[in-house]
Each structure stands twice: as C-alpha cells, then as structure tokens.
Amino acid sequence: MRVAVKQLENELVTPGQDRRHELGQFLTPQPVADFMASLFDSRWQEWNLLDAGAGTGALSVALVKRLCALRYKPRNISIMACEVDETLLESLHSTLQGCGRECERADIRFSASVLNEDFIAAAVPMAGGDLFTSSQPRFNAAIVNPPYRKIRSDSSTRLLLRSAGIETSNLYTGFVALITKLLAAGGELVAITPRSFCNGPYFKPFRTDFLETMSLRRLHVFESRSAAFSRDDVLQENVIIHAVKNSAKPESVIISSSNGTPTGAISEREVNYHGVVSPNDPLQFIHLAEGEAQDNARAIMSQFTATLPDLGLSVSTGRVVDFRAKEFLRQNPETDTAPLIYPCHFDDGFVHWPKEKARKPNAIISNEQTRELLVPVGVYVLVKRFTAKEERKRIVACIYDSHQIHAPLVGFENHLNYFHINGHGLPMALAKGLAAFLNSTVVDVYFRQFNGHTQVNATDLRSLNYPVKAELESLGSRISTPGLLQAELDALVEDELF
C-alpha cells in the first residue's frame, strides 16, 4: 500500500517556469501536504472533498492516505478536483486512480471527478446553486493550495467574484472565499496561503467575511520565509489555516510553527482567540503570536493608544519613482539639483548624503517639472519599504536631518516611507523619539505577527498605535548620538515607554 502511494508522489511533475508563474503553480511538497492532511479532525463517514486548483493531486492523495490509515475508516470518499491546466490532467487522473486503489485496499468506496475549468468561473454558479440540482453546498471538506495572483479590478474574474458577493484583489483569497461558500455547515477547510491576508486594508473584506463564516482552529507558520515554497517575486511567508464552517468564535486558536523542513520539529501553543483577532480592531488583523516574545510585544503595544492623526503626523510613500523620473536623475549633486534619498543612504540611524560610488543617483533636478515630487526642508523620519531577506529587522527607520544636509528641497524615493506633518518636517525631538520607537525590537516583533512579507507599507505604519507625543519627545531628547547599539536603544525605549 505504501509503495503505491510513494510511486504516485514520485510521479508528480514540475511544470515549466513561465507556465508555473502564470498559473501560480507552486506544488505543495509532500511533507507539507501530509501535515495539512493531518489537521482534519472530522470523523465523517462520507467525505465530500473539494480540491480546488488541484495541480497533480498532491493534497488529495495526502488526505486519502491519511483516511485510509485510520483505525475507524470512513465508508466513502468522494473528491472533486478542479484544475485549469490541461497539461497536469494526466498526472492528476493517475493520482486519483492511485487514490482509488488505495481506498479499495482499505475497503473504502471511492469516486473522483476532475473539472478541467477555471475554478472561479465554475464555482460562482455553484455557490449560487445553479450548476448542480441541489442549491446546498455539497462539500464537507476542502484542502487547497490556491494560486497566488493579483486580479485586476476590471477583470472578468473580479466581476465574477463580485457577483458572488466577494470583493478581493488576489486569486488566492478569491479561491478561499468561494470555497467557504461551498462548504456545508461544520465542513473543514485546510489551506496553505500567503500570509498577506492577515493584515492590510485590501484584505479587510475577505478577512471579516472569513472570520464571520469560519471558526479558526489553527494557524501554522513557517519560521523560514523560503521553507515551504516562495510565490511570485516577492518572497511571501506562508501560513496553513485550519478552520471549520461555523459562525461561533472559538475560545482559543492553536498557533504552531515549524521551519518547514520534512523532519523539522513543530512547536505549538494555544492562544486566546482575542489574542489572535482583537474584538476592538476594526480592521480585524489576524495576529500570529508564536511565543512569549510575541505575546509580550502585543501586551506592550496594546498600551499605546495614540494614532498618527492624534500625533498630528502622516506617513506617505516616497514620491520619486526613479524609473519614471529617469531624465531628472543625476549621479552627483549639481547646482540645480535637490538631494535624492534612497535606502542606501541610511547609516547608523541618520541619512548620510551624498554617497560616493553609490549605485543609485544622489540627486534629482529641481525645477517646475519635479517640484511636485519634492518636499520642503525639514527633519523627516524615513522607513524602508523593502528589507533584504537576510536583514535582521523588518522595520528600519532613520532620520533625514536638514541641519546636516543644506538643501531647500529633498526627494524621497519610492522605496521609502516618510513621516511628516502636513507635508513638512517634524521637530527633532519628536523625530528622534519616533525613529527610536520604530527601530525598537518590540515594534519589530509585534509587526512581524501580522506582516508576513518583506514590505513595510505606509498603510501598515498607519495601522500601528504609538506612544503619545510627550512620551516620544521625552524619548527623543535622550538620544544624543547616532548609531546606538540595538540593545542600548531597546533599553532606552523600555526605560522611557514601558
């Protein structure tokens, strides 16, 4: 029995690179598929499983294998596998035939159907009850690794989803939202998806619907970003969700983590539901507090109550998109240029400019055409939007100080966020306090709980709560030298704020 399944797994094909990207084909590694299958805890006699975006069937075979190995086996397993790519169908059929043989040996009735269609197009009418005679959802289990792809607001996919009452800008959340509609009450979902849905305003409609319809049971994160697999060009952290269709909120959720290697240990803890989704959070962020440090960071951050508007501050994305402003960029400052600041100018908490032998231009022509791209002289707090994978911290803040750089205007490149007061600079003490707060380990640990990718966008910074102005100013007044060690900065922040 094991040999047959092993053979099937070895037969899984790896499609060509371009096609893979187009269709979001990142096939689930077998240990991850097995782990996902192990999360189902229903004891259905009749399994009606949906495998949407089935690929070559890795997820179905993992669940069938598990059900066949149970002491009290189900009577019947029925699978509907939907896969749009016809080049995978032969493998998918052969995987499902293998599942059939496996079930036969385990004395379980088995049937499978393959739908070679776009899942969204096929499932929207199903969710409305048109495709099948019964208008009731038919599935009591779904296992999915959905394709990840942005969907344009005018695309037919977006319109189809909208017709089913689903407003979302990524295919993966579209898949999951539709699947939840197709599940019967009590039906179980296990999905591996990017972590990005856990936060961010764009995913809010998806998150609120999902949390209203589904009762979260477990969230599993991979400690290493590349451990399970990477999607798209942005390295995404992945999360496995286990949830049951039931509008009652659970008391607690299991948060587990592993490094994603086949033999890697799994650590898990039970977290109060309100520690995962705060009842007071209008954005319904999903926090993945994986350990004591994370709990601690959440507890500390929950004491801060000020929003950016309370502080009189705004945060925006740098206005200079370099490839669109190419003709105005200059390697070195000239008489008619303004400083152009990139992340490469960050140095020990302050902007050091100009940078000799920089790979990025140091200056931008300052004239009527570029005026809109520039901001006036002042002190600004800058935060990198992208951090390198190997960088220790996700939030990296630094100060642009016009006392050090004499120029009436400055350009912040689009890879930066900048904090300002109505488009102007901040008082120095407030800027230093804000930068120190943002650079503290506590903020970084907190931020990582809901931000699973390498980007720090202005919307993320707007969603944070901050200490009040007087506290930030007091902290700032204690920072006299640039280049504090992280431990020194953390000690200062702790002493001043916690």
The pattern of x and - marking residues 289 through 328 that bind ligand SAM according to CB under 6 A reads: ----------------------------------------
Among 64, 112, 114, 120, binds ligand SAM (CB under 6 A): 120
Helix axes 119-128, 156-163, angle to 10 degrees: 20
Closest separation in Å from C-beta 241 to ligand SAM: 14
Closest separation in Å from C-beta 323 to ligand SAM: 30
Judged by phi (left if over 0) then psi (alpha if -120 to 50, else beta), residue 378 lies in left
Residue 36 binds ligand SAM (CB under 6 A): no
Q: Which of these segments, 114-122, 197-205, 255-263, 490-498, binds ligand SAM (CB under 6 A)? A: 114-122
Residue 383 binds ligand SAM (CB under 6 A): no
For 191, the enclosing helix (H) or strand (E) is: strand 183-194
φ, ψ (nearest 5 deg) of residue 280 = -95, 0
Strands (E), 223-275: 238-245, 252-258, 266-272
Burial group, residue 327, by CB count within 10 angstroms (0-12, 13-18, 19+)? exposed
Judged by phi (left if over 0) then psi (alpha if -120 to 50, else beta), residue 347 lies in beta
Q: Which of these segments, 23-31, 72-80, 307-315, 345-353, binds ligand SAM (CB under 6 A)? A: 23-31
The bridge status of strand 266-272 relative to strand 252-258 is antiparallel
Structure tokens at 454: 């390498």
Closest separation in Å from C-beta 114 to ligand SAM: 11
Residue 5 binds ligand SAM (CB under 6 A): no
Which residues, other chains included, contact 387 with Cβ-Cβ below 8 Å and sequence gap of 6+? Answer: 393, 394, 396, 454, 456
Verify cis geometry, omega within 30 degrees of 0, for the bond prior to 339: no
The pattern of x and - marking residues 257 through 286 that bind ligand SAM according to CB under 6 A reads: ------------------------------
Q: Which of these segments, 17-25, 100-108, 181-189, 303-311, binds ligand SAM (CB under 6 A)? A: 17-25
Asked if 415 and 385 count as a contact pair (C-beta separation under 8 A), the reply is yes
Closest separation in Å from C-beta 63 to ligand SAM: 11
- Radius of gyration for the alpha carbons in the chain, expressed in angstroms and rounded: 26
Residue 25 binds ligand SAM (CB under 6 A): yes
Among 59, 183, 276, 464, binds ligand SAM (CB under 6 A): 59
Closest separation in Å from C-beta 172 to ligand SAM: 8
Among 28, 48, 439, 451, binds ligand SAM (CB under 6 A): 28
Residues that bind ligand SAM (CB under 6 A): 23-28, 53-55, 58-59, 82-85, 88, 118-120, 145, 147
